[in-house]
Structure 1
Amino acid sequence: MDLAAHTWTDVEAYDADVALLPVGSTEQHGPHAPLGTDHLAAAAVADAAAEAYDGEVLVAPTIPVGVSEEHRAFAGTLWVREDTFRAYVHDVVTSLAHHGVDRVVVVNGHGGNVAALREVCGRLSRDEVAYTLPFTWFDSVASDLPMGHAGARETALLRHVAPDLVREGRLEEAREHAAERWGEWVAGVDLAYDSDEFAENGVVGDPTAGDAEAGEALLAGAATALRELVTVVEER
C-alpha cells in the first residue's frame, strides 16, 4: 500500500506489520541523469517489491535528500548532515511504530547514506522502537555492470524505470569525461573528500554500458532480494 495515496481509515484497516521507507538523495548524476536518480531508484525498488510481496506492506513516502555533501561542487545538489539525516529517519520510523508498524526496512539508493543508516537502524532496533534494517538496492544484486556513480548500473535502471529523464544525447559526453574509479587513492587512503576532485563531470564509470534491458533485470533482482528480506523480517 502506498501510504501517501490512501486515507487514514484505509491505513487503519490495512493492518500492515512491515513498512518500506525509501531514501535516496538529490545530487548530481553527471550531464545525462537527473538529480533525483537515487531516490527515484529507491522508490522504484520499494514499489516493485511491495507489488510482488504476498502480504500486507506499507510503502512510506520517499525521503529525497540525504548525505551528499561530496557532490556540493555540482549545481542542484542538496545535502543534510549525517545527524540530521539520522534524526529524520529515526522520527519517521518512530511515527510508523506509533501506528503499530513494528518492522521497517529502509530502502536506500545512495552510497553516502549507508553508514548513517546502519547506525540509526541499529539504534531503533536496540531501543525497541521498531526492528529496522537498511537495504541498499545496488548491493543486493549480482550484475556484470559496475556500480560507479551515474555509471552503467544506475543508468541502466533509470533507462528502464524513467527513460524520459535520461538525456540520451549526452551519454557519450558523460562517458568521455568520466573517471574510471571513485576517489584518489594512496596507501589505501582516499585523498579526495569531494567528487569534483577526481570526476570532471561527476560521472564514475561508463553510463553507455547500461541499457533498459539490463535495468529491467536489475529492478527484478533488487525487488526479489527485498521481498525475501521483508519475508524474513516479518517472521522474525
Structure 2
Amino acid sequence: MHLEEATWTDVADCETDLAVLPLGSTEQHGPHAPLGTDVFTAEAVADAALERIDREVIRAPAIPVSVAEEHRHFPGTMWVSPDTFRAYVRESIDSLAHHGFDRVVIVNGHGGNVDALREVAATITRHDDAYAVPFTWFEAVGEHASEMGHGGPLETALLRQCCPGLVREDRLEDARAGAAERWGEWVSYANLAVDSAEFTENGVVGDPTAGDEKLGAELLELASAGLERLLEAVAERDVSGPERR
C-alpha cells in the first residue's frame, strides 16, 4: 500500500508493522539523466520488491532531498546538512512507528546518504520505538556493484528500465565524452577531492552508454530480490534487543 494514495481508514485497517521508506536525492546526474534519478530508482526497487513479497507492507512517500552538497556546482542540485537529513529521517520514521509501523527498511538510491543512514538507523534502533535498517540498491546487485559510478551504466540502465522517457538518449555520447573514469582523486587511499566538479567535467562517472535496458532489467531483479529477502528477515526478526551484560 502506498501511504500517500491511502485514506486514514485504509491505514487503520492494516495489519502489518512493516514499512519501506524510499529515499533519494535531487542532484545532477549528467546531461542525460534527470535530477531525480536517485528517487526514481529507489522507488522502482521498492515497488518491485513489494510486488514480489507475500505479506502486507506499507510504502511511505519518498524523501527527495538529502546529503548532496558535493554536487553543488551543477544547477538544480538541492541538499540539506547531514544533521538535518538525519533528523528528518528519524522523525519521519517516528511518525510511522506512532501508527504501528515500527519495522522500517529505508530504500536508498544515493551514495552520499550511506554514512548518515547507517548512523541514524543505529540511533533509531537503540533509542526510539522502532527498528530501522538501511538498504542501498546498488550495493545489492552482485558483481555489478563494482560498476557503480554516477549517472553511469547502472543508473542509466535502471532508468531505461523503470522510466525510459526521462533518459535524454540524444545526449548519451556527450555524457560519455565528459565523464570521469572513477569517483574522486585518490592518493594513498585518500580522496583529495571534496566536490564532484573537481574530477568530472559534466557530472558523470562511468560510461552511461553501457547501461542498456537489458542490464536495467537484471539490476531491478537483483535489487528487488535482495530487498524482498531483507524485508522478510526484518519482519521475522526479534527486535527486542539484547539485555545489558
User: Which band: TM-score by shorter chain?
Assistant: over 0.9
C-alpha separation in 1, matches of 2:62 and 2:102: 19
**Cα offset, 1:16, TM superposition:** 1.8
Q: Which residue of 2 aligns with 1:166?
A: 167
Shift of 1:104: 0.2
Q: What is the 5 A alignment of 1:88-99?
A: 88-99=88-99
4+ residue segments displaced more than 6 Å:
none
| Alpha-carbon contact 1:32-1:170 (below 8 Å) kept | yes
Q: 2:157–2:215: 8 Å Cα contact kept in structure 1?
A: yes
Matches within 5 A, 1:213-232: 213-232=214-233
SS in 2 for 1:31: coil
Match of 1:121 in 2: 121
Give, in whole Å, the separation in 2 of the partners of 1:193 and 1:15.
46
CA displacement, residues 60-94 of structure 1 (integer Å, 9 cap, x when unaligned):
00000110000000000000000000000000100
Instruction: Give CA deviations for 1:79-127 in whole Å, capped at 9, x if unaligned.
Output: 0000000000000100000001110000000000000000000010001
Partner of 1:188: 189
After TM superposition, the structure 1 stretch with the greater mean CA deviation from structure 2, 127-136 or 158-167, is 127-136
Structure 2 counterparts to residues 15-164 of structure 1, below 5 A: 15-144=15-144, 146-164=147-165
Rate the CA distance shift 1:63–1:32 in 2: closer, same or farther, 3 A.
same
- Paired with 1:216 and 1:209, the residues of 2 have a C-alpha distance of 14
Contact 2:94 2:128 in 1 (8 A): no
The answer to whether residue 195 in structure 2 is matched with residue 202 in structure 1 is no
Question: Per-residue deviation at 1:15?
Answer: 2.0
For residues 112 and 179 of structure 2, the distance between their equivalents in structure 1, rounded to whole angstroms, comes to 19
Residue identity over aligned pairs, in percent, reads 62
Deviations 1:159-178 (A, max 9, x none): 01010000000001100110
Instruction: Give the unaligned 5+ runs of structure 1.
Output: none
CA contact (8 A) 1:181 1:204 kept: yes
Shift of 1:213: 1.1
Q: Which runs of 5+ in 2 are unaligned?
A: 238-245
Counterpart Cα distance in 2 of 1:34 and 1:128: 35
Other structure's SS at 2:70 match: helix
User: How many residues are matched?
Assistant: 236
CA contact (8 A) 1:143 1:218 kept: no
Q: Which amino acid aligns with 1:194?
A: D
Q: Matches of 2:155 and 2:61 in 1, distance apart?
A: 21
Task: Report deviation, 1:17.
Answer: 1.5
Which whole-Å CA distance do the structure 1 matches of 2:26 and 2:128 have between them?
31
Cα RMSD (Å):
0.9
Deviates more, 1:114-123 or 1:8-17: 8-17
Q: Secondary structure at the match of 1:200?
A: coil
Give the distance between the partners of 2:236 and 2:154, measured in 1 at CA. 32
Q: Give the distance between the partners of 2:128 and 2:63, measured in 1 at CA.
A: 23
Structure 2 contact 23–107 (Cα < 8 Å) conserved: yes
- Find the counterpart in structure 1 of residue 236 from structure 2: 235
TM-score by length of 2: 0.95
